[in-house]
Amino acid sequence: MTALLSAASLQSDLQAIVDTVAKKYNCSVSLGIRMPNDVKYSAAGGLVSEGTYPVAAQTSDRYAWGSVTKTMTGAAIMKRVASGELSLDSVAHTFVDAMLKSAKYPYDMSGLFSADKWSIPPEHQYDPKKVTIRQLLHMVSGVPDYDTDAYRHLQYTHASTGFSPLDILDYVHAPLMFQPGGPVPSGGSHHSSTNYCSVNFILLGLVLAEKTGASSWDAYDQGEILPLPLRERVHFASLTDLCGNVTAPVHGYDRQSYATSEGKQPFDVSSINCLAGWTAGNVIMDAQAAADWTFALYGPDEEVIPASAVQQMVNASLNGSYGLALFNFDKRWTNGTRATSYGHLGDTYGFTSIIAYFPSDKVGMAVATNLEQGQTMPSETVCLAINRVLDDIDGRLVPRKCVYASSSYYGGACQCEE
């Protein structure tokens, strides 16, 4: 009876946390939690639509999770590394060039990232043939990114257009920005230790397409890495998928970009194509499916890849926050022996999200919001929720009070009473 009462109390408190964050930031928030023995918690709050007929959030609502897609692309690569089918230090162009050739693309990887169209070549030119699988996963390949305000403007002014990986490669046709493998120049990235660049994961998608024998980029089955129970619960947006169709009834709202810089109303991204960089950012799912994926990938049952492969991914981030297809969140939400956590941030048109795994207590957590305005909303939810869960695990009769303080677009820290 005690366990049932504890579960009911925890569920009530998690719902209160979600409702508080949703009200504070005027958005919808959805939370999923997965622990051992298939223990799960879900909560959702706020409005998924701010229209004439507001729609209240439900736990079954699906969101666009943006860069959380990278965990699936990365896991598919690491599974092949673990089996010996692929080496982290294999050069990428062998696989990428084969897919570009089959698509009758006018460039191979060397031509794509060369200075041939520049009237004044850059001071330093680096060899794209030296880019390895490891460097793409670690985002230290030097390839230029597409995910900029200029590209956002292009997408918004051609709302329903799905920009394919090949279209994006056209867009980023330019020399490598730095020597493959680094060092990475400072000042040009979302976080100081790496050059966060989604093109890395588009190229990894082409590697996977070639390795699986796909006839074209869009013939690659992104769901091949998912455990069977998740394959019907996770959707990958295609060239024809508008966000409003694949996330209905959820509407994503952009309050971050140029669309609101002159006092305009939040931009409803429902009419925007949701392909969002393909293997770098197109996954659609509900929060509980995301939590189940987090537990399957990083958890003790090794449902997706061996624990040793996960540790390889984590260890790569010891000198910075980004490892192999994951962020190292150490001390961001918890301290002491529980300081270690890892997963991924998601930030795409009108949506923000986080998946995080806490190995000391074997807790997988996922949070999605329908608001793009910094990363505070999902981070604050994780801060409050994980510490409430830990208090429950520890048997605290009175849960601690926690506060999340944002320090930058992505950065921040969680502080709790002792």
Say which range, 73-82, 149-158, 275-284, 354-363, has the weakest mean pLDDT: 149-158
- Of 316 and 64, the one with more pLDDT: 64
| Alpha carbons 368 and 381: distance in angstroms, whole number | 9
Q: How large is the angle between the packed helices 69-83 and 307-315, nearest 10 degrees?
A: 120
Residue 191 · residue 344 · CB < 8 Å:
no
- C-alpha to C-alpha distances, 260 to 127, 230, 266, 267, nearest whole angstrom: 40, 36, 6, 7
Tokens of 277: 């960089």
Would you say residue 402 has pLDDT above 70? yes
Name the phi and psi angles at 43, rounded to 5. -155, 150
Q: Say if residue 189's pLDDT is above 60.
A: no
Phi, psi for residue 404 in degrees, rounded to 5: -105, 130
Quote the pLDDT of residue 242: 97
Is residue 378 within 8 A of residue 347, CB to CB? The reply is: no
Closest C-alpha to 66, from 147, 139, 137, 135? 147
pLDDT digits (tens, 9 = 90+) for 288-312: 999 999 999 999 999 999 999 999 9
Question: Residue 365 in contact with residue 31, Cβ under 8 Å?
Answer: yes
Average pLDDT over residues 271-285: 96
Residue 181 predicted with pLDDT over 50: yes
pLDDT (0 to 100) of residue 260: 60
pLDDT on residue 229: 94
Query: SS3 sequence, the chain?
Result: CHHHHHHHHHHHHHHHHHHHHHHHHCCCEEEEEEEHHHEEEEEEECEEECCCCCEECCCCCEEECHHHHHHHHHHHHHHHHHHCCCCCCCECHHHHHHHHHHCCCCCCHHHHCCCCCCCCCCCCCCCHHHCEHHHHHHCCCCCCCCCCHHHHHHHHHCCCCCCCHHHHHHHCCCCCCCCCCCCCCCCCCCECCECCCCHHHHHHHHHHHHHCCCCCHHHCCHHHHCCHHHCCCCEECCCCCEHHHHCCCCCCEECCCHHHCCCCCCEEHHHCECCCCHHHCCEEEEHHHHHHHHHHHHCCCCCCCCHHHHHHHHHCCCCCCECCCCEECCCCCCCHHHCCCEEEEEEECCEEEEEEEECCCCEEEEEEECEECCCHHHHHHHHHHHHHHHHHHHCCCCCCCEEEEECCCCCEEEEECC
pLDDT in tens, 122-171: 778 889 999 999 999 999 999 999 988 889 889 999 999 999 999 999 99
- What percent of the chain shows pLDDT beyond 90? 79
> What's the gap between Cα 140 and its chain centre?
17
Q: Which two tokens stand for residue 244?
A: 């409003």
Specify the pLDDT at position 313.
97
**Do 48 and 251 touch, CB atoms closer than 8 A?**
yes
Taking residues 411-415, what's their average pLDDT? 90
